[in-house]
Amino acid sequence: MNIFNKVGLALFVVALAIFTLSLGLDGYTFKQSKLEVDEIHRNSILEAIQNQDIEGKKFSNSFDYIHALRKMFEEATTIQEEKAKTGIPEDLQEWQFNLSKDKVNNYVLSIVKSTGDGIVSNNKVLFWWLTIGLGIIGGLIYIIPTFFKIPGIKNDHIYHRSMQKGLNLSIRGFFLGATIIGILLYGVFYMNKNWFWPAVTLVISGIIIALVLFRRNEKEHEPTKSASPPDVTGWLGVITGIYLIGFYILLYWVPEYIVPWIQIADPLKQLIVGTNADRWFLYGMLYTVIVLTMGIRMIAKYWHNKYQILRTISVMFFQTCFAFLIPEILSKLNMPSMDLKNIWPLNYSFFFDYNISNLIQSGGFGIFLLVWGTLLALVGVPVFVYFFGKRWYCSWVCGCGGLAETLGDPYRQLSDKSLRAWKYERFIVHGVLAFAVIMTILTLYTYFSGASRIIGLDSYSVRTWYGFLIGSAFAGVVGTGFYPLMGNRVWCRFGCPLAAYLGLVQRFKSKFRITTNGSQCISCGNCSTYCEMGIDVRWYAQRGQDIVRASCVGCGICSAVCPRGVLRLENASGDIDDRAEELRAVHISEDEVRLLS
């Protein structure tokens, strides 16, 4: 580490510490006047406030405060329910009249946000600079010297670093198991104690495990290329993973605890749109800042590689403009805001009734968005994949891919290359695609017919469960939280329904493949190690076989790290089946020979 690295790292650590601590710095004073609630709920809430005697009360930390608020709302809910018994206004449904759980969550969040009193909420701009700003500066100082190094591959010491070397198989197993169980248990609660969908998910998981381990005899195949040998555990990576997982849990399910962070985002939102931030703005801001900063790191690391530079600039651009700025500007202009590059089924709510109605009602531009989104999914995807492979989206445009290729780059070596993992991958990712398609069909059926039940399935609860399980838990908690545990493309590889769809086209009808340079491969394994999708690239390269794999996102890193110049990403349809044939004889041509595999 040189002096730049040290200073940069120190600044970054300070920024991260302030960022984390900022959650606990503020106190709160409850003020009835800040209450923003629906008229029908107001009286019950006021009554509860009186009974609990919290008006004007000071709280030194968010835990006590949120606890008191929740207690108050519990009472308000009961009061409202009592009122419902004596009759509800004609024009309201019972669920609108009652204080639902979602409503309470929203009220709590908005009250916490408007009643903060302390150093962070009074110095939002300063804190933006002390956390986000300082983090960016520290990061850049750390990165800059890399631009001046002799051009070449810079992977030294990756497996010596606690942050990057990955973890022991049993600890990884523990994290996976705990996460799945935790998500399913929380899911029961999330679905209002309806255990049906969590139970279905559990059964399907069981079936997949059984199919992989028992039907395919995988049990005896102790996975060697799991990226998790017994004696390696990088604790810094594990801690980072826990931090990220924690972040997503707070963001998705208990945002009232991260109110100071949302407040730190206020000034920027004011600047762009003129309103205060919500948690999604906070998330978008962090996401963009991280993609940009870590994008610069990626560019510095691959300063000698034009493919990597262009690709990284592309994801930085699409994240900043399409995912972050354009939707904000559209909403400022009172237009339906949408991330124009977020394609169904990754954008799973695109065909939800409220989205369709919303788009249709907002006139010309809304209709354009509807047609745009539909065409992109049904025509754009297959056509572009045919010509360029799925990389045009996954490693040039997509936001999840963008984060994986920038923030996630230091962890790409942790993907599991065992055959067993590949088997899991195929079941799970295609399972998610099937789930997304079924859910969308049910939703559209409800939209057109008005009936919410089809063959005993309630399209609303399917949708809620999908949003929870796939949209939040898989894509966020596991997708990003597992970067330091299982590599940077866990979501893209195992979970993304769009990746599965793109992959099917790539596998069966595309010009894209990775060609191997004759017999130049020395089986060293750099390509496989650094393939974030867990493709055992060497398996193909060492036998001179072109690589046509559904999961390859065309990041080009295998080609970059190969010390013998063996791999090249190319588009051309000629001979593709022949050259990707399993046994393209290496030296002596022999047609009938076949290896038991």
Partner 1 sequence: MKIIIIGNGISGITAARFIRKLSDYEITVLSYETDFFFSRTALMYIYMGHMRYEDTKPYEDWFWDKNKINLKNARVEHVDFTKKALTLSSGEKMSYDKLIIGTGSASNKFGWPGQDLERVYGMYSYQDLEAMEKYSEGLKRAVIVGGGLIGIEMAEMFHSRHIPVTLLVREEHYWNNVLPLEESKMVSRHIREHGLDLRLETELKEIHDNGKGEANAVTTNKGEKIECGFVGLTAGVHPNVQFLKKTDLEIDKGIVVNEFLETNMQDVYAIGDCAQLKSPKEGRRSIEAIWYTGKMMGETVAYNVCDRPVKYDPGIWFNSAKFLDIEYMVYGEVPTKIPDTMGTLYWEHPDGRKSIRINYDKNHGHVLGFNLMGVRYRHEVCEKWIKEKTNIENVLQHLGLANFDPEFYKQYDRKVVELYNEQTGKNLELKTKRGLAKVLSFLNR
Site of interaction with partner 1 (CB under 8 A): 150-153, 155-161, 220-225, 229, 232, 305-307, 310, 418-419, 515, 517-520, 522-526, 528-529, 538-539, 542, 556, 559-560, 563-565, 568-575, 586-588, 593-596
HEC string for 159-195: HHCCCCCCCCHHHHHHHHHHHHHHHHHHHHHHCCCCC
Partner in contact with 553, chosen from partner 1, ligand SF4, none, beta carbon below 5 to 8 Å by kind = ligand SF4
Q: In whole angstroms, give the CA distance from residue 89 to residue 80.
A: 13
Concatenate the DSSP letters of all residues of 564-583 into one string.
T--EEEEE--TTHHHHT-TT
CB of 528 to partner 1, least distance (A): 7
| Dihedrals phi, psi of 182, to nearest 5 degrees | -60, -45
Nearer to ligand SF4, 46 or 522 (CB): 522
By CB under 6 A, tell whether 113 contacts ligand SF4.
Answer: no
Angle in degrees, 0-180, between the axes of helices 279-301 and 399-406, rounded to the nearest 10: 50
Q: Is 110 helix (H, G, I), strand (E, B) or coil?
A: helix
Nearer to ligand SF4, 421 or 541 (CB): 541
Q: In whole angstroms, give the CA distance from residue 432 to residue 490.
A: 13
By CB under 6 A, tell whether 502 contacts ligand SF4.
Answer: no
Region of residue 59 (left: phi > 0; alpha: psi -120 to 50; beta: else):
beta
Give the residue, chosen from 144, 191, 437, 522, that forms a contact with ligand SF4 under the rule CB under 6 A. 522
DSSP 8-state assignment for residue 147? G
CB of 151 to partner 1, least distance (A): 6
Give the residue, chosen from 526, 543, 545, 548, that forms a contact with ligand SF4 under the rule CB under 6 A. 526
* Among the listed residues 495, 491, 414, 490, the one whose alpha carbon sits nearest the alpha carbon of residue 166: 414
Stretch that binds ligand SF4, among 236-244, 304-312, 502-510, 549-557 (CB under 6 A): 549-557
CB of 414 to partner 1, least distance (A): 11
By CB under 6 A, tell whether 535 contacts ligand SF4.
Answer: yes
By CB under 6 A, tell whether 79 contacts ligand SF4.
Answer: no
Q: Which long-range contacts (CB under 8 A, 24 or more apart) does 132-135 make?
A: 132/15, 132/19, 132/264, 132/285, 132/286, 132/289, 133/15, 134/11, 134/12, 134/14, 134/15, 134/18, 135/11, 135/12, 135/15, 135/16, 135/19, 135/289, 135/293
By CB under 6 A, tell whether 564 contacts ligand SF4.
Answer: yes
Nearer to ligand SF4, 52 or 515 (CB): 515
CB of 313 to ligand SF4, least distance (A): 18
Reported in sequence order, the residue ranges of 79-158 that DSSP labels E, i.e. its strands, are 116-117
- CA angle at residue 20 from 476 to 477, to 5 degrees? 10
Give the residue, chosen from 88, 250, 524, 576, that forms a contact with ligand SF4 under the rule CB under 6 A. 524
Give the residue, chosen from 286, 397, 537, 550, that forms a contact with ligand SF4 under the rule CB under 6 A. 537
- Size of residue set near ligand SF4 by CB under 6 A: 27
Stretch that binds ligand SF4, among 44-52, 211-219, 241-249, 531-539 (CB under 6 A): 531-539
Partner in contact with 535, chosen from partner 1, ligand SF4, none, beta carbon below 5 to 8 Å by kind = ligand SF4
Which residue, chain included where needed, has tokens 């979970």? 495
By CB under 6 A, tell whether 538 contacts ligand SF4.
Answer: yes
By CB under 6 A, tell whether 60 contacts ligand SF4.
Answer: no
Burial, 562: exposed, middle or buried (Cβ in 10 Å; 0-12, 13-18, 19+)? buried
CB of 564 to ligand SF4, least distance (A): 4
- Confirm if 146 and 303 have CB atoms less than 8 A apart: yes
- CA angle at residue 242 from 239 to 248, to 5 degrees? 145
Partner in contact with 150, chosen from partner 1, ligand SF4, none, beta carbon below 5 to 8 Å by kind = partner 1
Nearer to partner 1, 441 or 585 (CB): 585
Residues shown for the chain: 597
Partner in contact with 533, chosen from partner 1, ligand SF4, none, beta carbon below 5 to 8 Å by kind = ligand SF4
By CB under 6 A, tell whether 523 contacts ligand SF4.
Answer: yes
By CB under 6 A, tell whether 548 contacts ligand SF4.
Answer: no
Amino acid at site 420: R
- Helix (H) or strand (E) holding 356, with range, is helix 353-361
Partner in contact with 557, chosen from ligand SF4, partner 1, none, beta carbon below 5 to 8 Å by kind = ligand SF4
CB of 566 to ligand SF4, least distance (A): 4
Peptide linkage before 484 cis (omega within 30 of 0): no
- Binding residues for ligand SF4 (CB under 6 A): 514, 521-527, 531-533, 535, 537-538, 541-542, 552-558, 562, 564, 566-567
